Every structure is written in C-alpha cells, then in structure tokens.
Chain A
Amino acid sequence: MEDKKVLIVGGGPDGVRAALEKAEDGAMVTILEKFPTLGAERIPRDRLIKPDEAFANPDLDKVRNHSDIKILTYSDLKKVTRENGTVHANILKRSLRIDNTKCNDCKACIKVCPVNMFDDFDEAFSFRTAVDYCNSETSEYNIYKEDMPVCQQACPVNLDIRTYVGLIADGKYLDSLATIRDRLPLPGSIGRVCPHPCETACNRQYLDEAISICFLKRYVADVEINEEIEPVYETPEKKHPEKIAIIGAGPAGLTCAYDLARIGYKHIKIFEALPVPGGYLWVGIPEYRLPKKLLQREVDLISNMGIDIQYNTRIGKDISFEDLKNDYDAVFIGAGCHRGLKLRVPGEDEYEGKGIVDCVTFLRDQALGNPMEAKGKLIVIGGGNAAIDSARVGWRMGFDEVYILYRRTKKEMPANPWEIDAAEHEGVIIQYLAAPVEILGKNGRVSGMKCIKMELGESDESGRRRPVPIEGSEYTIDAETIVPAISQGTDLEFLGEDHGFDINRWNTFEIDEETGATNVPGVFAGGDVVTGPGIAIGAIAAGKKAATGIHKYLRSK
C-alpha cells in the first residue's frame, strides 16, 4: 500500500510539530508555508524551557532532515477542493530568483538593493532589502516580490492604484483614468462613495497618513468632464452571438455587462425594475454624495457600447424568470438588497405608511423625486451608512430635528466614521446606547417613540459587546416620522416557486466562488444578492467575476 499523503498548511511551530507527528506515523508529509522560511524558531507557548536549552525549536532540524517530509516554502495554496475523501491542491511555488547552489553568500546584492522596507519577519523592528536571507541556518536567499502592493491587494477589483496614482503625479490625468477604467467602469461614482479598503491598507499610514486614493480617482474622472471629453468605450470587432440577460442595472450588473461587451458579446440586455439606472448608487446613495447627472453619464458610456437597458421592467412581474432563462443563453442576477428590515417592535405594523417608513423606501422615494412630507421631527434607527444617509437626507428635506438612535456606542458604529462626523457636523442628534421599544401613535399616525437606554455587556461572537437594556430607563421622543435603517435584505420572490436555486439562511444565493455560477446551469449571481448589504466596489468585483464565469460557460458549451 502506498503511504498516506498529508498536506500541512502553515509552517509555524504548530505546523512543524504536526508534520513530525504525521511523519512518525508513517505518512508522506508536505508542509506548505507562504513565507520563504519555516517559522518554527518561535518560542514554544506550551512548554516551559530551561535556561540552558537551545533557543531554536529542535523540531526544525528534524523536519528539514526527515526523508518523508517535503517542505514547500514561499508557496501559496491557490485552490483546494475535497472530493471523495481526496484533497486536490493547486499550489503556486514562487521563484526564489536566486540559484542558491551558485550563491557564495557575499551579500553584495543586499548592499546595492535600493529597496528599504519594513521587515515583517522582525515584526517591523528593522528594515530589509528586497533581497533577503532571513534564514541564517540555510542562508537561502530570495528576492521578494509580491503579486501586488497592499492597496491593490485590498481593493476588491484589484485596481492598479500604484500606476494610476503615479500617472497623476506625472500630470497624465487621462492616462490615469484609462488605467482605472481598465478594471472599473464607474470611476467618478466610486471615486465619491467608496469606503476605500485600499486606504485602510496603505503603507503610508505608518509614516504619517494614508494616501487619499479614492478622491484621486474622483479627480481624474472630473478632469475628463471639465475638459468636456466624451470617451468611447471600445468593443472588439469579433463578436460572440450568445444572448445574455442581466437582472438589475446596479454596480454588479453594469460591470458584468461592461466586461462582457469588452470580451465581444453584443446581445446584452439589462432589465431594471426602477425607472433609473445605478441600483443603490441612484436610489440609496444621496445626491449630495453622488450627483445623479454624473452617475447617468457613466451609465450612458456603458450603454453606448451597445448594451440595452430596459427600465421599469420587474422580473417576476413583467417577465417571468422562467421565460427569461429560456430566452437567453446566460443570466446574471444582480438584484441587490432593496428590502428594509423591520424593527419588530409594537406599533410598527399598525403605523406602517402612516409615519413609519423603512430606509430603503425613504431614500428611494426622495431620489426618485417624490419625497415624503418633511414635517416635525424625524427619528432614524440604526448605525450603518444607510442610517446616516437617511438622517442627512432628512435634514436636507427640512425636518425640524433629526435623531439617530443607535444601540451601541460611536466606536462600534458600522457606518464610515467620516460620514458619522459629517452628520453630527450638520446638526443630526445621535443618541448612542438607545433602542426602540414601541412606536406610539395618535389619530392613526405616528406621534413618537418609546425608547430605552442600553449599556454594553458581554462580547458576542463577532467580538462586539452586546447591548443590554437598562431596566426602568424608558423615555419618549416625540416624532412625526420614524425610519428604521437596521439592515437590508434580498427580495427573491421574482424567482417564482420551485425555482431550484440553492438559497442560504440569509436568503441570498449560494454561488461558486471562482465563477459566480449558481447551482442552476447558465445562471450567475453577484453583488448584494449574494453577500447581503455590502459595498459598491465589492458588487463590481462580483460583476467582473461573473462576466469571466459567463464567458467561460458559454465558450465551453
């Protein structure tokens, strides 16, 4: 019988110990480690060492010299699947770029290398060059080059930030914009609304402050508008004949269409339930953050590629999902999360539409030009960006006083901190550690809300401290309008009954992570309808992934 093969992921002390144990049991062991060396030099956490004991973990030498242990350092596990008890692993072993059999350890390379970066291995206590010999035992040199800088890695669509920011520094604004558009069709919109994970990752924050990457993207998008340049998005000569339907003209659907058109599909049709494009970018993000005119222009540039957007068409009502699936070769579902979730407190159902309206409806009605009457006081309940947007919109609509009620403190609030500051700056009154108890009414309309003060108790699974009501601390706020903004959910009724899709307990689609494919052949999904309420750039990344998935699916048919 062949020896049992075992893969150990992670070459830290745990991994090294596990490898030895498995090898002693007679298995053929492979250790996979992403760093160029194993890290078992670490002090063991579970054993008291004596002063005269060797510092380095003695297991390390045993592992290096064991005939049944293969070490794959500087390697990534790209893909792994388990099938009938067998684990298939696709591994990328990075090149060291140095032939260590020729190296004579003179260190001349280290002396000339101009790169001076923090040494992660030394917990950023020291600097290193790109040439590295972090393992003094083996003196194995390597030249360290990651796939991409941290900002690009952090960006869901992996925008080539270093290049486009560099082009701005050189004054080449339109080249910079072209670099962005290579992966992102909505630079002006995203340059305004993105919560920019790239900036959170930016290395400059350790020196002074992170680069303002997001607003630089907006800058180059604005240059094109100010110079009155109308670009044409090129599509290839060669065309693919298949028909593709896209549900929802939000960031996911628009990007999926854009990428498919650039691959060469010419029969792409987007079905949009609303009279306007952009999805949540139009009906959720308020005008003062993202002007509709600008969004419309960016959508027009996409539709000018020959993409048909049919508005006011709700799948499941105007056209059945079954018909759509039968008429098209592939379908992408990017329907978003447009259903505001309920507070589940007494009085909520009774006064629904009579002073109580969920944030999705509240923001959408305002965005579509039929805002509700702004009279008296407004209370928004929740701590996310939708809550802040609703409050800031309400303040602009002319409510006398605008409150936000949030059950934890400012520190736990999920909204972007700069949005919270802006709301407070504009005079929105945020009451932290407070929760709704009951909606009060008079003469068939909302007249106020009974609230209760909260305190923070034990941490929950997410690591946030759970808010607990303080007994006897109830109080009332008079208000004419109440907007719950606690979260949004999907509305999958359009699929009809017996649709056969894998839907999880959050009422979102289960998809293949690589391709965006659902379990129904030819149907793909992405964006909020898969992830729940997320950020626009995440939906764009999902649209891109699905475009690649659809292309692969159609070409293999």
Chain B
Amino acid sequence: MIYEKEKRYIIPFDDVPSDRAEMPEITVDERRRNFVEVETGFPEEVAVAEAKRCLSCRRCLGCALCWAECKPEAINFDIPDEELDLDFAEIVLTKGQDNSFHPFNSELGYGSYADVITDLQFERMLSPTGPTDGLVVSPLDGEIATRIAIVQGNTDEDETHLLSSLVLGVNESILALDKTEDLEVVLVSPVCQAFKEKFLSDSEKIGGLKIVDGVPESVEKGQKEEPLKVTFSEDGQSKKENFDLVVVLTKPKVSPEIASLSKKLKQEIM
C-alpha cells in the first residue's frame, strides 16, 4: 500500500523500513562514574537496512530514456553550461523567487493538517498553470472548497507587512471568488490604518468576502474528515467557525545566499 504523510506519497518495500534506525545505547546505570562510550553502533543488518532507506535523490538520473524517445532529436546532454564574466555599473538585489517564510504561530495547524496551506501555495492553486488548473480545492480530499479562511500568520509585524499581506489576501480572495460559485471567504487580520485609508471601501464591495479586523488564535480539527475549526478574535470577542480550507498569510524571508550577497556588497535588498 502506498502510504501518505502530509500529502506526500512513498511506496514501501519489504526490505526498506520506514522508521529511522535507532542507535543502541548502554543503560544509564552503566554510565555512572565512567566514560564508556554511550552509543554502541549499528549492527550490520541495521546499517544495511538504514542505507537502503536513502532515496538517492537527484534530479536527472542520466538514464537517457527521454533522449531515446525524442523524435525531433531535441534532447542533447552535451549542450555545455556557459560561464560568463560580465561587468556592470550597478547591481540590484531582489528577494528572488525563494519561497521560504518566517515562522508563524504553530497553533494555526500548518504542517499538521493537509487543508491548511500558505498564501504561496494558494497562489499556485489559483494559477491557471498551477497544480489544480486554477480550481480551488481542498488538498485533503480534492473537493471544491465552499468556505475559506485566510488568516494572518504574523500578527505582530509592522504596518508594511500587514498592508502587503492584506492586499495579497484580498487579491487571492478576488481570484478565488471569481472562479468558484457560492464561495465564502473570511479574511482575519489586524486591519492596519494604511489599508483602511486606501483599500477598505473597495474591498467591502467584493461579494462573498468578509474582512474581520481581528487576530487568528488557533486552527483545530477532530476527525480527519471534519471541517477545520478556526478560533479568532473579533472586537475583543473570541469566535469559532468552520471552514474547508485555511490559508495562512506568511512573511517572506530573504534567502541566505541573497542575504550574504547583500552583506558582502554592503547593499540593501530591494
């Protein structure tokens, strides 16, 4: 049976254990008043089984099956990489397409429930070239979502972040509402002043979207098939509502390569 963890699949083989091998140790009583090595090492059969767990990750394996199949002979493994030495008068550093984000409240259920996703994943889902051809579906069961909560992950952040993620949240809502009939979207975020001034009246006209000036507290679920229960505060009151999909608005993080480049060149990232 193929088994699943967080929506990712792997085929188990009889000779490949799914659990990581545990290192055998001497007991605590055997350790007092001496310095005998605690970990005793893998027995041979454990080491071999553990080594077989390796997925031997790589991208292209070089098997040349595609090359054999390609009728127009477009595939050519000999096309070399190019090395370029170029001079510029100016360099601009941007965040690039790195998708890592700052950690957010772990109570929001991301990583625990397959139907809690990030804003970036939601964006891919909304894309006509994305994994679902633009359909808004729950990754848990593939059903079309009817009630979506979009919640702010980093509520303590400054105005700039709150504004940009609110705008992203509203944009994603527009696209989702546009694609899905009878959809309801609730956006929970501390609504910052800049958003109120610039966009609030526009966004209130969008049918199906409700913006809650509040703070998301937790996302829970009973059984796997049950809806997600989102707890959030609104006007100082705690509320609990059911949703089929929760989208967490994240704060993008600059990749270490770009950060070190910025440090080296003593230049800000745009």
Contacts and interface: CB of A to CB of B under 8 A. Distances in A.
Interface of A: 4-12, 14-15, 18, 22, 27, 30, 33-35, 39, 41-51, 55, 72, 77-78, 80, 82, 85-104, 106, 108-115, 117-126, 130-131, 136, 141, 143-146, 149-151, 161-162, 165-166, 168-169, 171, 192, 203-204, 206-212, 215-216, 218-219, 222, 286-291, 395-398, 422, 425-427, 463
Contacts of A215: 21, 23, 39, 41-42, 50
B204 to A, nearest CB: 12
Contact of B124 (A44, A86, A125): A125
Interface stretch (B75-83, B185-193, B219-227): B75-83
A117 B47 contact: no
Contacts of B70: 108-109
B16 to A, nearest CB: 9
Which of B60, B62, B77, B121 has the most chain A CB atoms closer than 10 A to its own CB? B60
Given A30-B86, A45-B168, A125-B139, A9 B35 contact: no
A443 B200 CA distance: 72
B52 interface: yes
Contact of A98 (B74, B86, B177): B74
Contacts of A145: 58-60, 62
Given A55-B128, A143-B66, A89 B59 contact: no
B1 interface: no
Given A5-B88, A89-B84, A212-B20, 9 more contacts: A6-B90, A10-B93, A10-B94, A109-B69, A112-B68, A149-B56, A162-B54, A215-B50, A288-B36
A334 B49 CA distance: 39
B35 A396 contact: yes
Nearest to A102: B74
Nearest to B54: A165
Contacts of B131: 119, 122, 125-126
Interface in B156-182: 164-165, 167-168, 170-172, 174-175, 177-178
Contact of B88 (A86, A146, A209): A86
B31 A396 contact: yes
B74 A43 contact: no
A85 B87 CA distance: 10
A118 B72 CA distance: 28
B69 A108 contact: yes
A196 to B, nearest CB: 12
Contacts of B62: 145
Q: Which 8 interchain pairs have the tightest Cβ spacing?
A: A10-B96, A109-B66, A126-B131, A10-B94, A168-B51, A102-B74, A287-B35, A209-B20
Which of B23, B34, B68, B96 has the most chain A CB atoms closer than 10 A to its own CB? B96
B58 to A, nearest CB: 6
Interface stretch (B2-10, B145-153, B210-218, B236-244): B2-10
A104 B128 CA distance: 22
23 contacts: A6-B91, A15-B96, A43-B171, A50-B174, A77-B261, A87-B88, A89-B85, A97-B75, A102-B74, A103-B74, A108-B69, A108-B71, A113-B65, A114-B63, A123-B118, A123-B124, A125-B130, A143-B59, A286-B35, A287-B35, A289-B39, A396-B31, A426-B28
